[in-house]
Every structure is written in C-alpha cells, then in structure tokens.
Structure 1
Amino acid sequence: MTTVGERLVEMLEARGVEMVFGIPGVHTIELYRGLAGSSIRHVTPRHEQAAGFLADGYARATGKPGVAFLITGPGLTNVITALAQARADSVPVLAISGVNARATLGRGLGCLHELPDQCATMASVCLSSERIEDPRDLGPALDRAFALFASGRPGPVHIEIPTDVMALPCDDTSTDEAASAGPPQPDATAIAGAAALLSRARSPAILVGGGAKGAADLVCRIAERLDAPVVMTANGRGLLHAHPLGVPASPSLKSVRALLADSDAVLAIGTEFGPTDYDMYVVGGFPPLKGLVRIDVDAAQIARHACDIAIVADARDAVEVLMSALEDRPADAAPGAGTARAREARDAAWDEIGQRYRSHVDALDAIRKAAPGAMIVGDSTQAVYAGNLFFDHDRPGGWFNAATGYGALGFGPPAAIGAKLGRPDVPVVCVVGDGGMQFVLAELGTAMDEKAAVVFVVWNNGGFQEIETSMVEAGIAPVGVRPSAPDFCQVAQSYGMEAQRIASLGALGAAVSQALACGGPALVEIVGDPAL
C-alpha cells in the first residue's frame, strides 16, 4: 500500500522538485514517510517563516517552485509573512501543510493547532488554497498548483492535507494538467500596433522589471534596435550591466522620471508599476507616459495601470515576436541619441541620490567586484535601499531583496541560503542590517548544517537607523529604534562559521574575497556607520 504521504513525495519528485524546506511535527510526520527513500533533499530551518524565505530564495535562483512542508496551525501562520513576500514579488512557492482530522474541522473543539478555517486564512495570501478531502484529490490538486506556476503570474499556492487522510492508501491520480499549461501567447494585433508605435518613435525608452529577467539578451537587442535607454527597476537590475543604454536607477528619482516624461514612446516589460519602485518616497508626481506599451503575463496586472497597447504574454515570447515585427526607425532620428539620453539620466541620478547613498553603492560595487556574477540577496537595510535607487549589477535576476513589495525584515539570510542551495555553482552574498539579522539569527545554523557557502555581510549600525532618521525628521522623539545586538562574529563562530569584523568600507572587498575563499558559510560584520 502506498499512502497519501508517500504518493505526495513521489508526485513532487516526478514534477522535478529537488528539495523541500520544513520542520517536521506530529501533524506532518506521515508526509515524511516516503522522503528518506526519495531523491528530494530536506532542509530544516530554525523557524517556519525561514522555511518560506528559503523556498522563496530557491525559487528566485532556479526558476523552479520552492516547496515547504508545514505543520498545522502555528507552522502555517508562521510562514504567512514569507508567503506574502512571495505573493508581492511573483515568486512560485508551494506550501503543503497538515490540518486537523476532517471530523473536527470548523467545530471549535479546541484541538491542538486548531484554526477556525485554515484554508480561508491561507486563501487571503495565496493564489489558491485547497484541502485534500479524498486521496483521489491529491494528483489533481498538485496539477492545478503547477499549472498556476506555469501559466501566468506566479505566486504562493497552499495545499492542506488532514491528518486522517495522510495515511490513507492512494493511487496515482495525476491528470497531467500541468504539462499542458503555459503562458498566454502574444496577440498578433497587439504586436502589430506596438511595433508600429515603437518604430516611429524618435525618443523611445524601455522599462524593465523582474518579469523581464529571463529575456536579458532580447531586451538588449530591442534596446539597440530602437536606440532606447533602458530603465531597470530593482528586480530588473543586471539586464543591461555596463551597457551604454542602461539606466540602473529607480523610476522614483526625479532624473529618471524626467527621462521617461521626455520619451515619445515607452515599452514596459514585466513591471507592475508598484509604488515601492515608482514612488518610493510616496510623493506622487510620476509622469504620464506617452505611447505606453505594456508586456505582462498577467492581464489583471496590466488592467491596474492603463496603457495604450497591452500585450498579455511571457516577456521572452512577446519581445521575440515584437522584434521581428519592428520596422526601420525614422530616417530623421538622431543616431546615438539614446546613448546620450541614458548617460545624462545615469549621471543625474547618481548626483541625485546624495553622497551618503553613493558611499553605500560604492560598497555594493566592492561586493560585486569581489564576487562577479554573484546573487546579492538583500534585507531591509540602508545599503540595500541605496542599491534599489542606483546599482548596476552584473547578473540578471541576481539583485533581489525584501525592501520592495511586502518589505519583510529577516528575508535576506534565509533567502540567500535557499538561493545558494538551488545554485551551488553561483556565489551568493547576503546584505543585512543588525536589526534584520536578529529576526533570523539562528538560520546561521541552517547555513552550517547545509554547507551553504553564503557570505553574510552584516551592516551593524546599532539599531534601526532609517526609522530613527524618519522619526527625527518628522519631529518625533525616537523610541524603540536602538535594540541591542549580540557580537555577530562570536555568534557565527559559535556555529563553527568563519567570521571577521571590519570598520572601513575600503576593507569590504577584500573581506568578501577572503570569506568566499574559505569555501563555506562566512560572516563579515561592518561595525558602526562607515558612510558617515
């Protein structure tokens, strides 16, 4: 007899799942029955929220869904923050949880780990939430989950299995629905209209977000064909590293907004026009865009920000077709004008962010030079805020953090571990503040357990400095912004991790190089505020 729990593992394995993240409990042990004999690797974090962040980082690094096993009740509510971050950033995460026995559900009997309606709780955060009431439901539920990941804008999906269902016998009930799923194909009429509009533009621009990271080569080609500056939002960084047409700066900056306002056509690829990218300071004033063409896999997302032409499709599919439909540029279009416009916008944005943030970006540049091609995974900390405003990374999809979208503190370290586990061949550096590090300090142990060679750069300025500054500027006496921190190097060393402390940004590049050379997890602590 093959149980539901065993069949679940088989079905995940058949769908290419390589690892699951979770903490086993009495409500999920039947899900683990087949795990030891499978090819799936189990990773145990120290907290369920970290399990979600690990799955998120793994998914961003690999492009495959991250999977978490979670106990009923508190295990699931602990992971909600991580799933909300994944929802905000369109990251495919599959949360598989237990739930109490079917006969007890919704009756308020006071069972261990009981929630009034666990599915309803998760449905408010996830793309879908469903319960396996019968073993025959398992395959179709998994098919629907993987179809959601493959056919549109991804995000978290939740499946729960009652404890009295986990051990029931289960045949393979897959419908192979996921295999037939795929993103929508670009509409020919929309492509033709967009090609005509962009071909006749004399000063076009391109906006790229995280949805374009799989089309970096095509974005470069269409930018060169149109002679169009390319503005990269935070999740779009790395698509045109060091390219004359690249503008690795936030559209929240006045200088970048001026570039877009002066454009007679704008092609926006895989970007949702969210406030954390387009109005970071909540001051309004983002200009109306002339001749706006949007490419997005999600029709509902396109509907939230009006445009002239909408192309509902995967970025790579749409840009490839659009390229072939473009006509020759206007004969009177000034050659090289796009390069000059991009350079002017870059220079103005660099000046606009100010000396303090420029010093933070210099520190990020030092990390990039010490670890070329790295994934730099950030938490909510000042160096990351600076990088989101202006930073030219060298890897598409290699700069991501939780300082946009949902904005969860404690994201960086576990997400970096998940990214490294998913791509062990790629250097991974986590940039985190002392406050965010303390949210997930114990995950240093997870990195050691899993031999995940992440370099944790902890920017220890003694508190929540960004919040303290905001309180002072608002005329509010700072309260609660100076929590004490441990000796991070000693904590790391107590786990057996290499650690060193520096007090100068000039020493950061060498410290990161040394940490990478050790071949295992390592921590670099920056003490004080070297930017002052």
Structure 2
Amino acid sequence: MAVKVYERILQLFEAEGINTLFGIPDPNFVHMFHAAEERGWTVVAPHHEENAGFMAEAVSRMTGRPGLAIGTLGPGLANLSGAIMCAKVENSPVIFLGGQRARITEQRVRRGRIQFVSQAPLLAPSVKYSASIEYADQTDEIVRHALRVSQTGTPGPAYIEYPSHVILEELDVPAPLPPDAYRLVNQGASAQSIEKAVELVRKARQPILLVGHAVHTSRAGESVEALAKLMNCPVIQTSGGTSFIRGLEDRTFPYGFSPSAVDAVVKSDLVIAIGTELGEPVHYGRGRHWLDNEANRKWISVELDPTAIGVNRRIDVPLVGDLRAIVPQLVDALKDSPRQPSAELAGWIADDAARIADLAESAPGGTPLHTARFVVEATKAFPEDGIMVRDGGATVIFQWTYSQAKPHDVVWNQNFGHIGTGLPYAVGASVADGRKRPVMLLTSDSSFMFAIAELETAARLDLPLVCVVGVDHQWGLEVGVYKRTFGQGSLETGVHWSKDVRFDKIAEGFGCRGEYVDRAEDLGPAIERAFASGKVTVIHVPIDPKVNSEEMPSYDEFRTWYAEGTQ
C-alpha cells in the first residue's frame, strides 16, 4: 500500500497499541497531527514541550506501553530535553519524535542558519537509542528498533528524528508487523530457574515480596496479588512502588516508614524482589534494615535486565525476563501448594492499621495548616477508585508518612526528583485512563508553578482533576537547609516569594474552579465538592511555612538514601 512517511510512523505505533500523541503542532509535522486525529488518535497539545514529555511518560506508566511525544526542531527539542532525561532516569519507555530541517542545511558550510542545531548528538546520552530517518525506506526499521530498545532490558526513552524532506515522501509497504514478529515479547524464565525459586519459597518460613515501581508501570498487579496470596506473606513497598495492589491493601507496608515493614524485613528469610533495582531507597537490599539476619536470607530477583543481576547485592535465584510473564510462572508453579501465613502477619497488619489511624488522630491542628494535617485531611477525602499524583519536596515527605489513602495508582517522580511534573503527569494519567476515574494532584506551590499553564489543557480536555495545593510561599526544603546550615534568623536568599499569589484565582482565569480553604475541617468537603462539580478545580490551602521547612517526618530515614553522604 502507498502511504506517506508520517502515516507509516503512525501505523507502526498503532501496531504496538499506541494511539496517543502529545506535542505542539509545527509546520514540520502538522500532517502527522492531522492524520493522527483522522485515524482516531487522542492528540493533546500542551503549552510547553517539556510537559508533553511528562504527559507521555504518565501514559506509559498507566498503560504498560511506550508513550509518544513530539517536538519541533531546535527549541522544541531543547524544551523536551528535561522530560527526556527524566524518562531515562525513571526507566520510562517513551518515544520522542523530533522534526528537523532538510539535511542539506546541516551540510552547508555556513553561519546564521535559522532554527537549526544538530539534535541527535545532543540527545544521544539521554536516551537508549537515537536515530534519524535519513531515507524514507528506513522508517520501519528505525521505528521498530526504537520500540524494541525502549522495552528491552531496563526500559527507557528513544529519540527518532525525521528531516523535513523525508516525512512527506511516499512508501509502498505492507501492513505493519505485530510486535512479536520483530522483537522479543513476554520473555519468561527457564523451567530450571522457576524450579529453584519454588524450592526456596517452600523452604522459607518468613518470606516477603519487595514490590517496586515496575510492578505498577507494567500493569502486573493481578499476578503479583495472586502470588502474594499463595505465599500468604507481607508486601513491602519500595518508595518508588507506592501504588497499592488491589486485594493486598492491608498487608502492604512502606519500606522504612512502617514499623511493620521494618520488622518483616528484619525477620525475613526469603525476599522475592519484583520490579525494583534495589537502589539507594532500599539500601541496596543489604544495608540498614537488611543487616540483621542477612546470613540466613535468600533472594529471588525478577528482573528484565540481565546486566542488573548482582550489581547491588548477591542474588540466589535470578529470574530474568518480563515480570508479566515470570510472576504468572511462579503462580502456576505454586498454585497447588499455598503457604500458611506466618504467625506475625496478622499482627503486622493490625499494627500498621493502628499506625495509620494514630497518625490521623495525632497530626497537629492549627492555622495555617500543619502539613501533616493538610495531608491527612486531603487523603481522607481521596476517592477510593482515584488516581493519585504527587509532586513537591517537603509535602511529598509528609505524604509518605501521613497519607490515609491507599491508591491503586500513584504517579510521581522519585528517581530523578524532578519537581513540577505533577500537573502534566495528572493530565497524561487521566488521558490514558480515558478521563473516567477521578484524579487528585496533591502538591505544593513551588512545584505547581512549574507547569501551571497546563491548567488550561486540563480544562480544555474536561478532566476529572482536583489539584490540592499546599501554599507556604517558599522553597520549603531549601529554607530548612538554610536554617540547618546558618542557624535561625539567617539570610535565606532566593527561597521566598510574594504572599499575594492566589492559586484559586489563577485557576478561575484558566477556566477552572477555584476554592480557598484555611481550616482543616473544610478541606475534605471542598475536595468532595470539587469532584462533584465535574470541573477541574484548584484548592488553595495555606500551610505552615515553619513546619514545612523544619519538621518533616522521617527525614532521618530519607537522608539514609544518600549512601555517599551527599546530604
């Protein structure tokens, strides 16, 4: 069949189940935007290309498939670069497309070329694969290889460039191949490896599952639930894997922040690590809480990247492949011999429930709101079927400790620590969900202002989104650093701004609803009204600046993540 290159690119992504595109239209690729909409794609134009990249990353997290973002030549790609780096560090398979001038421009020995920079070499260090479609008949191989590489081993981004003289050329090509015809899919572990793992499970007295970020981004919750129930064991969340798997809410404890999690880790004699790199936030699986009983503890690691095995700690049984294939293999092997629960499991569950209830009671009151009370009241009002998006510095640390919700989908930026991702993540997550489930963005003012223009995008798309913004008019974490470094009353340069900013009023200017809430008892009802309204809503909540900068809970635990003492 005869198709234009831009149409063929769309066909190749459709073969992978990808039909959502984020970017700002440009003369180089208006044809692609036009064709995508005609083919029934969801095409979202944000107000900044970096936010297009974050939205695409959120789609990949919510679907288990690569996201897709596009940027115009030069400044568009420069704007995307922050999102590209973020996708690399967050292990997100996002394909970034970039326009470019005709290649003759690059080969001219001239100065003063307009809107031109050699993009591929600049972006290559930040992606797993970087290529340019120099000839029309390279389209299939390059797009397929980008999709292959982005999903092989540790997932990550790829960059594809198309010079303007190529994208409008015509190809005579057959129908696109399905994924399993050109790349490895659903790679399982060998029978011998599964047998060794099952043997360790059957011998273990105190097994635990250590569940990481990839369990949620690969949408593998159902099979992990089945495994946890067969093993009758606790589930320990890494700080990146903070979504709660349906059916396992009560027995899921956050590593390092729950005494039940610490006790289960200390007493464990078998760990099945699923979808985690065993990095700094879990002390590589060998330091801090893991030190006790290390000599008697066995490790099974379910890992897509074979080069990750044994890097941060010794692994007794590596199960290399796609966890969406391997976890069902374990379930099948264990289904006829479920374990009895350990004597401690019921106690751990009761203790953790009591911990959460006590935090709700003990969170201080007052006006402006203590950040702990801000988090308690906001998360108590979180809809049971909602999507939680986190953003910010100090406010996220408070969320780890004080959250009363157990969301099945949490989207936030842990590894890279890129604040300001919350609003575009919320837009992308809701688009991926089909705009059905309620979405709550729980954030702070410093982070919210990074991408505040995307309120218009959310309103334009009529998303079921409520943004709850804790406002202290400062960079909270940095104020705390000034005080610890120079003492109370010292100069705090560059970390404060005008107290006249009102986010509820800004929201109204973007066509959204706005509410101002300064009492704890009013926050829950305001959130309920916001979701009931059906309009994108921003709730401005003043929070105590001293608390937010100086009284972060579990901060000493957080500091232990920085193994080389950078904090």
Do structure 1's residue 380 and structure 2's residue 392 form an aligned pair?
A: yes
Distance (whole Å) between structure 2 residues aligned to residue 134 and residue 400 of structure 1: 38
Distance (whole Å) between structure 1 residues aligned to residue 229 and residue 423 of structure 2: 37
Q: 1:231 to 1:390 in 2, by over 3 A?
A: farther
1:299-330: CA deviation from partner (whole Å, max 9, x where unpaired): 23334323221111222322222233348589
Tell me if the contact between 1:20 and 1:42 (Cα under 8 Å) persists in the aligned partners. yes
Do structure 1's residue 362 and structure 2's residue 370 form an aligned pair?
A: no
Structure 1 counterpart of 2:166? 165
Tell me if the contact between 1:203 and 1:338 (Cα under 8 Å) persists in the aligned partners. no
Residue 30 (structure 1) shift: 4.7
Tell me if the contact between 1:456 and 1:522 (Cα under 8 Å) persists in the aligned partners. yes
Residue 347 (structure 1) shift: 5.8
Q: Which amino acid aligns with 2:264?
A: L
Q: 1:453 to 1:481 in 2, by over 3 A?
A: same
Do structure 1's residue 194 and structure 2's residue 209 form an aligned pair?
A: no
Give secondary structure in 2 for the equivalent of 1:236. coil
Distance (whole Å) between structure 2 residues aligned to residue 516 and residue 509 of structure 1: 11
Residue 222 (structure 1) shift: 2.8
Tell me if the contact between 1:350 and 1:390 (Cα under 8 Å) persists in the aligned partners. no
Q: 1:352 to 1:251 in 2, by over 3 A?
A: farther
Tell me if the contact between 2:211 and 2:275 (Cα under 8 Å) persists in the aligned partners. yes
- TM-score, normalisation: structure 2: 0.83
Structure 1 counterpart of 2:516? 501
Tell me if the contact between 1:86 and 1:93 (Cα under 8 Å) persists in the aligned partners. yes
Q: Which amino acid aligns with 1:215?
A: A
Give secondary structure in 2 for the equivalent of 1:474. helix
Structure 1 counterpart of 2:446? 435
| 1:221-236 to 2 correspondences below 5 Å | 221-236=226-241
Residue 460 (structure 1) shift: 0.9
Distance (whole Å) between structure 2 residues aligned to residue 531 and residue 241 of structure 1: 37
Q: Which runs of 5+ in 2 are unaligned?
A: 364-369, 548-567
1:374-421: CA deviation from partner (whole Å, max 9, x where unpaired): 00111124332233356464443x11212x111112100011011112
Structure 2 counterpart of 1:183? 186
Give secondary structure in 1 for the equivalent of 2:288. coil
Distance (whole Å) between structure 2 residues aligned to residue 451 and residue 95 of structure 1: 26
Q: 1:245 to 1:203 in 2, by over 3 A?
A: farther
- Stretch moving more, 454-463 or 183-192: 183-192
Structure 2 counterpart of 1:322? 330
Distance (whole Å) between structure 2 residues aligned to residue 174 and residue 105 of structure 1: 33
Give secondary structure in 2 for the equivalent of 1:46. coil
Question: 2:410 aligned to 394, 399, 404, which one?
Answer: 399
Give secondary structure in 2 for the equivalent of 1:105. helix
Tell me if the contact between 2:100 and 2:162 (Cα under 8 Å) persists in the aligned partners. yes
Residue 76 (structure 1) shift: 1.0
Give secondary structure in 2 for the equivalent of 1:410. coil
Give secondary structure in 2 for the equivalent of 1:34. helix
Distance (whole Å) between structure 2 residues aligned to residue 242 and residue 167 of structure 1: 51
Q: 1:495 to 1:348 in 2, by over 3 A?
A: closer
1:266-301: CA deviation from partner (whole Å, max 9, x where unpaired): 1111111232x3259xxx735255201111222233
| 1:67-466 to 2 correspondences below 5 Å | 67-105=68-106, 109-115=111-117, 117-172=118-173, 176=177, 178-180=179-181, 181=183, 182-213=185-216, 214-240=219-245, 243=248, 246-251=251-256, 256-275=261-280, 277-278=281-282, 285=288, 287-288=290-291, 289=294, 290-306=297-313, 307-326=315-334, 335-344=342-351, 355=363, 359-368=373-382, 371-389=383-401, 391=403, 393-396=405-408, 398-402=409-413, 404-423=414-433, 424-466=435-477
Q: Which runs of 5+ in 1 are unaligned?
A: none
Distance (whole Å) between structure 2 residues aligned to residue 254 and residue 341 of structure 1: 8
Q: Structure 1 stretches (4+) deviating beyond 6 angstroms?
A: 252-255, 348-354
Q: Which amino acid aligns with 1:179?
A: D
Give secondary structure in 2 for the equivalent of 1:234. coil
Q: 1:357 to 1:445 in 2, by over 3 A?
A: closer
Q: 1:197 to 1:15 in 2, by over 3 A?
A: closer
- Stretch moving more, 264-273 or 8-17: 8-17
Q: Which amino acid aligns with 1:379?
A: D
Q: Which amino acid aligns with 1:278?
A: V
Q: 1:43 to 1:221 in 2, by over 3 A?
A: closer
- TM-score, normalisation: structure 1: 0.88
Tell me if the contact between 1:67 and 1:95 (Cα under 8 Å) persists in the aligned partners. yes
- Stretch moving more, 162-171 or 318-327: 318-327
Distance (whole Å) between structure 2 residues aligned to residue 22 and residue 217 of structure 1: 33
Residue 253 (structure 1) shift: 6.7
Do structure 1's residue 513 and structure 2's residue 528 form an aligned pair?
A: yes
Distance (whole Å) between structure 2 residues aligned to residue 389 and residue 121 of structure 1: 40
Q: 1:358 to 1:433 in 2, by over 3 A?
A: closer
Tell me if the contact between 1:377 and 1:415 (Cα under 8 Å) persists in the aligned partners. yes
Give secondary structure in 1 for the equivalent of 2:278. coil
Tell me if the contact between 1:233 and 1:250 (Cα under 8 Å) persists in the aligned partners. yes
Distance (whole Å) between structure 2 residues aligned to residue 53 and residue 295 of structure 1: 27
